[in-house]
Amino acid sequence: MDSLRFKALASIQDRQEDKEKPSKIIISEIFGTQVFGDKTMRKYLPKDTYKNITQIIHTGEKISRKVADEVAAGLKSWASEMGATHYTHWFQPMTGTTAEKHDSFFEMKDGEPIESFSAGALVQQEPDASSFPNGGIRSTFEARGYTAWDPSSPAFLMRTRAGLTLCIPTIFVSYTGEALDYKAPLLKALHFMEQASVEVCRYFDPKVNKAAATLGIEQEYFLVDSALFNVRTDLMLTGRSLFGHAPAKGQQLEDHYFGSIPERVHAFMVDFENEAYQLGIPLRTRHNEVAPSQYECAPQFEEVNIAVDHNQLLMDVMGKVAKRHNLECILHEKPFAGVNGSGKHCNWSIGTDTGVNLLSPGDNPKSNLQFLTFFVNTIKAVNDHADLLRASIASASNDHRLGANEAPPAIISIFIGETLANVLNELDSPVKSGKSAETNSKIKVNIPKVPEILLDNTDRNRTSPFAFTGNKFEFRAVGSSSNTSAAMIVLNTIVGNQLKAFKNEVDALISKGQSTDEAILNTLRTYIKDAKRILFEGNNYSDEWVKEAEKRGLSNVKTTPEALDAYISTQSIKLFEESGILTERELEARHDILLEHYTKQIQIESRVIGEIALSQIVPCSVEYLNELLLNYGQLTDNGFIIEAEQGKEYIQRISNHINLIRTNVFEMIEERRNANKIDNSKDKALAYCHKVKPYFEIIRYHADKLELYIDDKLWPLPKYRELLFIK
Ligand code: ADP
Ligand code: MG
């Protein structure tokens, strides 16, 4: 009988591809057609309501009942005309994915069927939420959780084959008002950072009234044929391959990166991009990535809250559309050993309502001082809270990537490029007198050099976890499957906090008689001294950097259970409480949820490893062993002594691997049992990390050896060479 793998391979051969030509699409015409955006609101809302709601979106004021009523009515008309029958509050619980609970517009009123959607249904819902992670915040007797409308993120229509559903972006909080999701603290962190930015901006331009953090998310992913995916329990249940020998050809020829996109993949890309455009997601870029079967897409940047929602939505759309093409879109950080993993580069900056990108060097001393202010404050914030940033990207899946040889390490450092490093050095050193007639003003001596930065923005360091790239910072260590809110909550909180401290220090110097520019420069100077240790221009993947970082006192926390500690350090609790973003109780709940999530992921992987090893790999290996034994018997019966000796050695080798797989699986199960007895979530996560997980590599080693020895016909799991090269 054919192995599952052979059947799957045969089904790909037999598949009838849909060769229908795509119809002509003009992106600007389909863009945003499924979004209750500006154009649609103008059409479906009374003039005053439209004005009101756009202002509220801009300022974040409270919404009156009347406005909510009219928006609800407008939304319903639009959604029904488009063909939607149901609506849902769309939220982002701590599971990392998005959640929906659909209700229909339809209801019976006085015995008559009608379609309705009230302000009440728009503004607030109470999903039966006791099964979402809550870290002890909600005991079952007080299981109520509320979702509440976020008007700053537009409602949209989600399409499946069955029809359209109106989705309303919401936050998710407990009965007592504590955040149970990513969006609630994100909105607070953004507001906090933006307010602090405006205050600082006013040193340079009193006309600035609003600043907004911006984010462009580059999304990496893998594609695998679904027939093969479906017979790999590990990919299906854990998102990564827990077994599989490296193929003879991997990424060593470097022929995939920016290579021509296979036709089948191209068709998938066009299809998901078109869906994304209709949802208002401004995708711009698509290309092959470094590993075979790895790709990337990136949108134009947007305000952070919208960019995060769009990325969550995009991941969902990519998954759904891939299935239509008999593909699986894999977002795991490390689906395949031995080839590159996937990240989600977060390009971050701050823009003002006067049209200035605060991280873009200007062409005159004044704007350069403003640039340097935001630039240096960000560096200082990252330096002071590196551990918290590390915690924000920690997950079982990202652990495989951080510190592996092809991704930024678990050590947080910043790359700024040679030109800016020189600028900071100069700022930091005492001004030499007599340099020019203008030396009495320090700014004039040092700052005019800054425009040269523009010439230097090709200076790239792909190995850095946090890099300045000319007019924005790029946080590269973020994992491909993560909700970027986690990283954005931390980044915006620490920068906001830093800007506030900066403002206080500068004001104090001004009140002592220093000029504003002097006060700013003097404050920045002290920051540069402090923060220099985190700047690193070299190769982050090298062993030398690990040693050097240790000397500099930078942390190198390799695994999640330890990394998460930073969320509940005294320093973090103080930071989040003072900034009003998360309370100690909320932080502790989050810490607990993330630990539990980690434990569960390792637990599932461990179970899948045991199951595949014992029920698939060992049986096919034993079958082959029996064949060999028969063969061996025939050789010796017929007097072939030398060949028999070689055969014996071969049989021995295979049988050793089989035995070692068995013993290690049983030992791993025993360790799992021990870990399961632990109550404390941190200790349990540590046990899973350091007692259970080490078996994964050992078991895999023996299984991967067997993959090379066992008859190809018998091997049940699609091999890397089949998974990674889509035809
Ligand atoms: P790079 O070559 O540095 O990767 P790209 O121009 O391709 O630069 O941009 C990568 C991502 O960074 C895109 O999503 C882009 O929209 C985003 N980006 C560009 N400018 C900003 C900015 N000011 N704020 C946030 N993201 C930005
Ligand atoms: Mg980039």
CA distances from residue 255 to 290, 340, 541 in whole angstroms, order as listed: 8, 14, 22
> Which ligand sits closest to the CA of 457?
1
Closest CA to ligand 1's atom 8: 469
CB 5 within 8 A of CB 12: no
597-723 maps to which CATH number? 1.20.120.1560
The predicted pLDDT at position 432 comes to: 46
Give the number of the ligand closest to the Cα of residue 350: 1
Pocket test for ligand 1, best of 347, 350, 458, 469 (most atoms within 8 A of CB): 347
Domain range annotation of the chain: 31-178, 191-582, 597-723
Atom of ligand 1 nearest to the CA of 348: 25
Which amino acid residue places its CA nearest to atom 3 of ligand 1?
A: 469
Amino acid present at 271:
D
* Cα(159)–Cα(141) distance, integer angstroms: 36
Task: Name the helix (H) or strand (E) containing 134.
Answer: none
Which atom of ligand 1 is nearest the CA belonging to 217?
14
Q: Which of 194, 218, 350, 472 to mutate to test the pocket of ligand 1 (most atoms within 8 A of CB)?
A: 472
pLDDT of residue 71: 94
pLDDT at position 142: 52
Closest CA to 378 of 387, 386, 390, 367: 386
Residue 666 CA to residue 683 CA, distance in Å, equals 22
Q: Cα(281)–Cα(146) distance, rounded to whole angstroms?
A: 27
What's the confidence (pLDDT) of residue 490?
98
CATH number of 31-178: 3.10.20.70
What ranges make up the beta strands (E) of 665-712? none
Q: Which ligand places an atom closest to the C-alpha of 475?
A: 2
Ligand nearest to the CA of 347: 1
Superfamily holding 191-582: Glutamine synthetase/guanido kinase, catalytic domain (3.30.590.10)
Q: What is the distance in A from the centroid of ligand 2 to the CA of 467?
A: 9
* pLDDT given at position 228: 96
In order, the DSSP letters of 520-542 are: HHHHHHHHHHHHGGGB--S-TTS
Please tell me the distance between residue 274's alpha carbon and the centre of ligand 1 in angstroms. 21
The Å distance, Cα 553 to ligand 1 centre, comes to: 31
Q: How far is the CA of 301 from the centre of ligand 1 (A)?
A: 6
What is the structure's pLDDT at 138? Answer: 56
Q: Which ligand is nearest to the CA of 343?
A: 2
Domains 191-582 and 597-723 share a fold: no
The candidate with the shortest Cα–Cα distance to 306, out of 37, 685, 698, 692, is 37
Give the nearest ligand 1 atom to 215 CA. Answer: 25
Query: What does the pLDDT read at residue 510?
Result: 97
Pocket around ligand 1: residues whose beta carbon is below 6 Å from it?
A: 214-216, 218, 298-301, 347-349, 357, 469, 471-472
Residue 59 token pair: 């300022």
Intra-chain end-to-end CA distance of the chain, in Å:
26
Please tell me the residue having the least CA distance from ligand 1 atom 13: 216
Residue 449 has a pLDDT of 41
Q: Which atom of ligand 1 is nearest to the CA of 298?
A: 14
Looking up tokens 């090379």 gives 708
Phi, psi of 471 (to 5 degrees): -150, 20
**Torsion sign, CA atoms 285, 288, 290, 292:** positive
What confidence score (pLDDT) does residue 351 get? 98
Q: Which residues of 409-426 are buried (b: 16+ CB within 10 A; e: fewer)?
A: bbbbbbbbbebbbebbee
Q: What is the DSSP string of 441-495?
A: SHHHHHGGGGGGGGGGTT---TT-SEEE-SSSEEE--SBTTS-THHHHHHHHHHH
pLDDT tens column, 193-243: 999 999 999 999 999 999 999 999 999 999 999 999 999 999 999 999 999
Per-residue confidence (pLDDT) for residue 140, from 0 to 100: 45
Separation of CA 472 and ligand 2 centre (Å): 10
| Strands 145-149 and 163-174, sheet pairing | antiparallel
Q: Residues in the chain with pLDDT < 70?
A: 1, 17-22, 128-132, 136-143, 250-258, 404-407, 430-459
The predicted structure's pLDDT at residue 448: 44
Position 442 scores a pLDDT of 38
Q: 322, 449 in Cβ contact below 8 A?
A: no
Which spans in 329-463 are helix H?
A: 365-384, 386-392, 418-428, 442-446
Of 222, 223, 225, 235, the C-alpha closest to 8 is: 225
In angstroms, rounded to a whole number, what is the distance separating the alpha carbons of residues 380 and 496? 11
